[in-house]
Amino acid sequence: MVGNFKANESKLKSDYLEACKDNDFKRLVARIKADDELARKYTSKLEECVNNLKKCSKCKGLGECPFECPGLILYPRVDGNMITFEYHECKYLKEENELKKKEMSSTAFYYNEPIQIKNASMGDIDLTDKNRLQTIKWIKDFYKKYNKDKHLKGLYLHGSFGSGKTYILAALLNELVKNGTTTVIMYYPQLLRTLKESFGKNNNESYDEMMNKFMTSDIVLFDDIGAENLTAWSRDEVLGTILQYRMDESLPTFFTSNLNIEELESHLAETKSSVDIVKAKRIIERIKSLTDDIELISKNRRV
């Protein structure tokens, strides 16, 4: 046993000394600030990284990338008493992703919303209704602060039917689009049906593409949450997944509802097949973490 250990140690040292004859190998070890004792344990993996970096230095674009995942290269990082290896984007992949981001910026995505919501404008909001003053003050403050801080809390705006909740928030989001913000405004009850129908079909957007958009867009508005026919899938797999991501990334998220937050919790707890108070509370805690809460009770403008 002792003899085998010494033999292995001797081979590690020999392999490491041989690898250090390559200046690129020595530079990589120095760059990640690994001492010789630590680097020696990972000689073969570090050599693999060096060889890949050499290939990258001669590459002229993603079309020539020799790796299984084009644009991604394994790179070492010292993590305590070990070295971990993570995939990093090459310069060409970064450029491509930046270009996609620019193409996507200044875009509003509407799901099952009427034309008046798509055309909603802050300049057309009725300012004579005193019941709206708190909400209007809030959106004006948000608009002023958003350019300096992209991680503000959104708003849970609830209240009476036809009081203009959706129009007011859509007007804010439509205005922010002009400044390069990507927004999603979705009529939530119908959206769930759209998502369900997207499974296994060649639609314009797949389920995964839509979910990714809802999770990662700069700002998202869930319109009329609480009006949907609740299922465990819609609560846990759709809503829970989106909100968890947006909470982790501190992305502004908005809601309109005819239910206050306590009523929404009761709604989220009960599906056709079961009652789950704990899962409902989890969703509500995410909403509370993401939003301020304002009630808007006003005349019905749909009449």
Is residue 157 situated within a structural domain? yes
Is residue 280 situated within a structural domain? yes
Residue 2's pLDDT is: 47
Residue 6's pLDDT is: 66
Q: How far apart are CA 142 and CA 177, in angstroms?
A: 14
Residue 279's pLDDT is: 92
Tens digit of pLDDT for each residue in 109-135?
888 888 889 999 999 998 888 999 999
Residues 161, 31 share a domain: no
Any bridge partners for residue 255, and if so which?
156, 222
Provide the CA 262 distance to its chain's centre, in angstroms: 27
Residue 3's pLDDT is: 52
Does the pLDDT value for residue 302 go beyond 70?
no
The DSSP output letter for 275 is B
Residues 86, 219 share a domain: no
User: Could you give the number of structural domains in the chain?
Assistant: 2
**CATH classification at residue 280:** 3.40.50.300
Mean per-residue pLDDT of the chain: 89
Residues 226, 140 share a domain: yes
Tens digit of pLDDT for each residue in 183-198?
999 999 998 888 888 7
Residues 179, 158 share a domain: yes
Tens digit of pLDDT for each residue in 30-43?
999 999 999 999 99
Residue 7's pLDDT is: 65
Does the pLDDT value for residue 97 go beyond 80?
no
Residues 166, 229 share a domain: yes
Structure tokens at 79: 């993590």
Q: How far apart are CA 170 and CA 166, in angstroms?
A: 6
Residues 110, 88 share a domain: no
User: Among 68, 95, 122, where does a domain finish?
Assistant: 95
Domain that holds residue 254: 105-296
User: Among 45, 71, 95, where does a domain finish?
Assistant: 95
Compute and round to an integer the Cα radius of gyration of the chain: 27
Residues 139, 257 share a domain: yes
User: Among 95, 121, 156, where does a domain finish?
Assistant: 95
Residue 166's pLDDT is: 95
The CA-to-CA distance between both ends of the chain, in Å, stands at 88
Q: Reduced to 3 states, what is the DSSP secondary structure of residue 74?
A: strand
Structure tokens at 48: 């693999």
Residues 91, 110 share a domain: no
Q: Cβ-count burial of 240 within 10 angstroms (0-12 exposed, 13-18 middle, 19+ buried)?
A: middle
Q: At what angle do helices 188-197 and 207-216 cross, to 10 degrees?
A: 140
Of residues 300, 118, 70, the one with CA closest to residue 221: 118
Tens digit of pLDDT for each residue in 151-188?
999 999 999 988 899 999 999 999 999 888 999 999 99
Is residue 301 situated within a structural domain? no
